[in-house]
A = this chain, B = another copy of it.
Amino acid sequence: MTESQLIGASKEDIDTPALLLDLDILDGNIARMAALAADTGIALRPHVKTHKSPLIAHRQLAAGAAGVCCAKVSEAEVMVAGGILDVLVTTPVVAPEKIRRLISLARQATVGVVADDLRNVRNLSEAARAEKTTLDLLVEIDVGQHRCGVAPGPAAADLADEIARLPGLRLRGFQGYHGALQQVVDLDRRSADIRQALDLLLESANVARRRGHAIEVLTGGGTGSSATDIGFHGLTELQPGSYVFMDCNYSRIHWGPDGALVLFGNAISIWTSVVSCTSADRIVVDAGWKSASCDSGVPILKAIDGATFSFAGDEHGKLSVPEGTRIAAGDKVELVPSHCDTTVNLYDRYVCVRNGKVEALWPVAARGKTQ
C-alpha cells in the first residue's frame, strides 16, 4: 500500500510502528483550551515544540491563538515557512549564525525572542540594526526552575533597561516558565507553587514598570498550570504545548478539586504489532526506545485492562497481559506515550485517523529541528 493509498484505509491496515493522531480528540483539545482562555483577556500562544506541525498550529490559530511559541530557531523557520506569522522563540538565541537567521525571520514574520544576558542582548541589537529591522525582546526570568533566566526583581528590570535603550529591539515584556511545576499531581499544591512563581514574575514587572517600561507581555505557563494561570489573571499570555495531544504523565495530575477531572483527551498513540508470542509471558511488540520516548516513564497500553508495556531494547517492547487475554503474533495494539513531545520527535509523520479510518498523513515538519 503506497502512502496515498493509505487515505481512507482502516486503522488495522496501518503499518507499525506508527504514530496515530485522532483528529476528533485533537480538535476537542484545541477547542477546550481556547474556551478556557476565551473572554479572560489572556492570550493563548501554544508551544509547537509538542507537535512540530504548521498544520496543527494553523488549527490552534483558527481557534483563537495569538501566535505560537517555538523552542529553537530552526523550529521557528519551519513554522514561518508553513505560514505561521507570529512566533516567539522561548530559549535564548546566542550563536552569531542563529542570530542572523532569527533576524531574517523577523523580516518575514512577527518574531520575538527571550534573553537573559547583556552581551547577548547587545549582539541581537547590533544584528537587527544592521538589517534595519526590529526584534521583539522579552527578558527571561528565573521563577524557580533555575535553568535559563535572570534573577527576578531589579536584575530583570536592569536587563529591561538595556533592551529599551538599544536600537533594533522592542522591549515587549517578561517570560517566566517553570516546567517542573506543570506535573505536580496535587492541584492545591500545584496552584500554590504556580502562585509563588507568578508572584516573582509580577514583582519583576512592577519594578520595571516603576522605571517607566510598558511591559505589555507576561508570558509563561504550560498545560499543567493552564487552568490555574487563567484563574490567577496574572499572565497576559499562556504557552501550553502538551494539551493538544496529552500523555500518560499529564493524565496523572489532578485537574479539578475532586482529583478526577481530566480536561484533555489522549489524541496520539503508538500503533504497534505483536511480532513474537512464544508463550504467555513472551509477548513481544515492534516498538522499543526508537518508537516511544522513555524520559518520563513507560507508555500505557490502551484497550487491554490490566496489561502493561515494558521496553525490551531499541526495537522491541514486551507486553504483560492478564491471564486468559487472547493475543497472538500479528495483533496490533495502541500505546499512549508517557511524554508526547519526545515521542512525536521520533516520527516523520502523523497518521491522522477519525472514526477508525485514515483521514490524512501530516508531516512532523519540524522533526529533529533542535538547532
Contact = CB atoms under 8 A, between A and B. Distances in A.
Contacts of A274: 94
Contact of A368 (B1, B117, B142, B347): B347
Interface stretch (A225-233, A249-257, A285-293): A285-293
A219 interface: no
A13 B275 CA distance: 45
Q: Which of A94, A117, A291, A348 has most chain B Cβ within 10 Å?
A: A94
Q: Which of A16, A289, A311, A312 has most chain B Cβ within 10 Å?
A: A289
A110 interface: no
Interface stretch (A58-66, A314-322, A352-360): A314-322
A208 interface: no
A15 B95 contact: yes
Contacts of A18: 371
B346 A276 contact: no
B342 A368 contact: no
A149 interface: yes
A16 B371 contact: yes
Interface in A105-157: 116-117, 119-120, 140, 142, 146-151
Contacts of A151: 278
B98 A15 contact: yes
How many copies of this chain does one complex carry?
2
Interface in A268-282: 273-278, 281-282
Given A72-B315, A289-B295, A329-B94, A275 B371 contact: no
A345 B117 CA distance: 33
Contact of A275 (B1, B91, B150, B284): B91
A92 B276 contact: yes
Interface string A171-188: 000000001000000000
A314 B329 contact: no
A305 interface: no
A275 B92 contact: yes
A83 interface: no
A151 B294 CA distance: 30
A274 B147 CA distance: 12
A72 B291 CA distance: 12
A237 interface: no
Nearest to A15: B371
Nearest to A146: B282
A85 to B, nearest CB: 23
Interface string A336-371: 000101100111100000000000000000011011
A51 interface: no
A54 interface: no
Interface string A16-32: 11100000000000000
Given A147-B313, A149-B276, 17 more contacts: A15-B95, A17-B371, A71-B315, A91-B286, A92-B276, A94-B273, A94-B274, A117-B276, A142-B282, A146-B281, A147-B318, A148-B276, A148-B278, A148-B282, A289-B295, A290-B368, A294-B294
Interchain residue pairs A-B with the least CB separation, the first 10: A148-B276, A71-B315, A289-B295, A92-B275, A289-B342, A291-B370, A290-B345, A290-B370, A314-B341, A17-B370
